[in-house]
Structure 1
Amino acid sequence: MLTKKALLLASVLALSAGATQAKGPDVVVSIKPIHSLVASIMQGVGEPALIVEGSASPHTYSMKPSNAAALQDAAVVFWLGHGLEAFLEKPLESLGTGARIVELEDAPGLEKLKFREGGAFEAHDDGDEHESGGADSHDTAHDAAHEHHHDEGEVDMHLWLDPHNAKAMAAEIEKTLAEIDPANAATYKTNLANLDARLDALDKTLVETVAPIKDKPFIAFHDAYQYFEKRYGVTVAGSITVSPESMPGAERISQIHKKIGELGATCVFAEPQFEPKLVTVVLEGTPAKSGTLDPEGATIEPGPDLYFKLMENMGASLKACLSSKA
């Protein structure tokens, strides 16, 4: 008969064996919101590596040696696609490791919206001097990026700002991971079901959060929010700039300044990655208030919960600013 000590040791060994799973694949993800979805599906198997960390933005990011090393070791790379993470195009083209590269903008079931331009959403960069002092190589690079985005993609790439799109991307992530790592397929499937349930609950919460302020117009720093706008019926009256690779000039700021009065916008929202002084300048002489929206999770720690905090914070920020009196 086994002693109590032997029984205890056997129980510990059994529990350890039951908790052991096959090692997951090396996975690299471009930006925080997508990384959060991948991390949710990989819970219990492994942790994906993140390229754009901290408060950096994919609009202005430059690759680091550590990023290149992670890509070389990757079995899978998840990114949205050419229209957002342009800095990844050449590194991914030069990968010789046989890694599977997944463009989530191609995930089945996504609702895609076109860039909107004209009126309050027009960039108005033609011949306009920028805050940094006139046309320069930065402007040329911006024009090329802007042309690339609009000519080749035409799609607004802030796809994750609709939980329904997050579910579509999560399904593609789970499918990919299960195909390359069948030993952990059951875990990925369970995690996807749990993630879908959380996304459904988040969707209901956001509907309730923004309901009181749906009809109050606001100005955003750049035109990143139309997926959130369409899903929840909030009213984006315009943006300071269409594309944050380049700052708007004095003429553009003057036009938005006037739009605040014409459209009755009660709030102008900055973003943590970009220059807040522009918002201050736009607000001068108007009754509008300022707030902050963080569409990429710049101020949030990466991980499975980031996506939910990002979306909840967005709803809370809109409600707080738009509910208060100027």
Structure 2
Amino acid sequence: MSDREDFSMRFRIALGLLVLGVAPAWAEVPRVAASIAPVQSLVASVMGDLGTPALIVSSGASPHGYALKPSQARSLQDAALVVWVGPALETFLVAPLERLSPQAKRLALTSLPGVRLLPLRQGGDWEPHDHEHDHETGAADHEEHDHDDDHDHEAGGIDPHLWLDPTNAQVLVGAVADALADLDPEHAPTYRANAAATKTRLEGLDRALQERLAPVRGRSFLVFHDGYQYLEARYGLTGVGAITLHPETPPGAQRMRQIRERLKTQGVACIFAEPQFSPAMVHTVAEGTPAHTSTLDPLGAAHPPGPALYEQTLNDLGRALAECLTP
């Protein structure tokens, strides 16, 4: 039988089933929901032309303290697969997942075997990195621990911003392909081929960032909130502190004095704002100091959701760091 005859037969079968009110199994693709834009981007890369995962938190919003909208609740309710960072970041999703998606398969990035996890840094001032305590994790080791954490920087917690390490993104891509292949065996070869191509691109992205950021290692910088530890660890960067411990809570007068003292003693070259929050505090801190200001966007607010967003976001971060930290 020729390819054309095979396609014609499949089409007639599908049409007949639709007339009977039965959808052919080979036409079904699982509905997927993803929590934040960088995660949704990686999932979209695996799904390719077969479907588009729903995005829960728009890239212009912060997942810290987010409130779920009715349309997003429906996306969770309809999903066969939900992909998120985990309770350490999207605390607002814990109860809705139990209530709206009890039957859905869930992938939490913080619980995937092979993911590199870093502990939360305590306070807003940090010493140079000591990553001998970095570790990889498996679901059995951290699932219970994750559910006990929120993003209040409690002692012993994990830093949930782990998508900013491209090697962690590669782990997620493989796990998503496996999950989709289980749910949709008909398209398993496509999911796995898309995942392999995505991993190759992520390896290239990692090499490019290593090359771009190597010249600014050792140049100190301050961030709005402690969301970049994975980027710092992966590329040997020197973040020395955060303006605020909690993104939604502005620092008090005493903290502002501490920050300005930090600027003097650490020779901070740059202070970074974030588009999800007002830049006013960053400009106030930098005023009267030699430090430059710029913006780091960990969520890709400048880009439309889709397969390209993750790489665009990481490239933007690399560009902003290199440009602001270069003497």
Question: Normalising by structure 2, what TM-score?
Answer: 0.83
For residue 198 of structure 1, report the CA deviation from its aligned partner.
0.3
User: Deviation digits for residues 5-57 of structure 1, max 9, x if unmatched?
Assistant: xxxxx69x77x97xx96331110000011101100000021110001114011
Give yes or no for the alignment of 1:150 onto 2:154: yes
CA contact (8 A) 2:76 2:101 kept: no
Give yes or no for the alignment of 1:101 onto 2:101: no
Q: What is the CA RMSD across the aligned residues, in angstroms?
A: 2.3
In structure 1, what is the equivalent of residue 14 of structure 2?
Answer: none
Cα distance in 2, alignment partners of residues 23 and 119 from structure 1: 49
Give yes or no for the alignment of 1:82 onto 2:51: no
Give runs of aligned pairs for residues 146-225 of structure 1, distance below 5 A: 146-147=151-152, 150=154, 154-225=157-228
Cα distance in 2, alignment partners of residues 96 and 168 from structure 1: 24
Q: 2:324 aligns with which of 310, 317, 321?
A: 321
Q: 2:276 aligns with which of 273, 278, 281?
A: 273
In structure 2, what is the equivalent of residue 51 of structure 1?
Answer: 56
Cα distance in 1, alignment partners of residues 124 and 35 from structure 2: 32
Q: Structure 2: which 5+ residue stretches go unaligned?
A: 12-23, 128-148
* Inter-CA distance 146–303: structure 2 relative to 1 (3 Å threshold): closer
In structure 1, what is the equivalent of residue 253 of structure 2?
Answer: 250
Higher relative contact order, structure no. (Cα contacts within 8 Å, ≥ 6 residues apart) = 1
In structure 1, what is the equivalent of residue 309 of structure 2?
Answer: 306
Is the partner of 2:196 in helix, strand or coil?
helix
CA contact (8 A) 1:210 1:318 kept: yes
For residue 250 of structure 1, report the CA deviation from its aligned partner.
1.6
Counterpart AA for 2:221: F
Cα distance in 2, alignment partners of residues 62 and 95 from structure 1: 15
* Inter-CA distance 23–157: structure 2 relative to 1 (3 Å threshold): same
Is the partner of 2:86 in helix, strand or coil?
coil
For residue 97 of structure 1, report the CA deviation from its aligned partner.
5.4
CA contact (8 A) 2:33 2:76 kept: yes
Q: Structure 1: which 5+ residue stretches go unaligned?
A: 1-9, 123-143
For residue 249 of structure 1, report the CA deviation from its aligned partner.
1.3
Instruction: List structure 1 runs of 4+ shifted beyond 6 angstroms.
Output: none
Give yes or no for the alignment of 1:65 onto 2:70: yes
* Inter-CA distance 71–321: structure 2 relative to 1 (3 Å threshold): same
Q: 2:262 aligns with which of 235, 259, 262?
A: 259
In structure 2, what is the equivalent of residue 7 of structure 1?
Answer: none
User: Deviation digits for residues 233-270 of structure 1, max 9, x if unmatched?
Assistant: 01101111232132211211111111011000110000
User: Deviation digits for residues 263-297 of structure 1, max 9, x if unmatched?
Assistant: 00110000000110000110112110100000111
For residue 95 of structure 1, report the CA deviation from its aligned partner.
2.2
Kindly, what percent of the aligned residue pairs are identical? 47
Deviates more, 1:77-86 or 1:113-122: 113-122
CA contact (8 A) 1:104 1:172 kept: no
CA contact (8 A) 1:44 1:187 kept: no
CA contact (8 A) 2:124 2:243 kept: no
* Inter-CA distance 60–300: structure 2 relative to 1 (3 Å threshold): farther
In structure 2, what is the equivalent of residue 137 of structure 1?
Answer: none
Cα distance in 1, alignment partners of residues 110 and 165 from structure 2: 13
Aligned residue-pair number:
290
Is the partner of 1:94 in helix, strand or coil?
helix
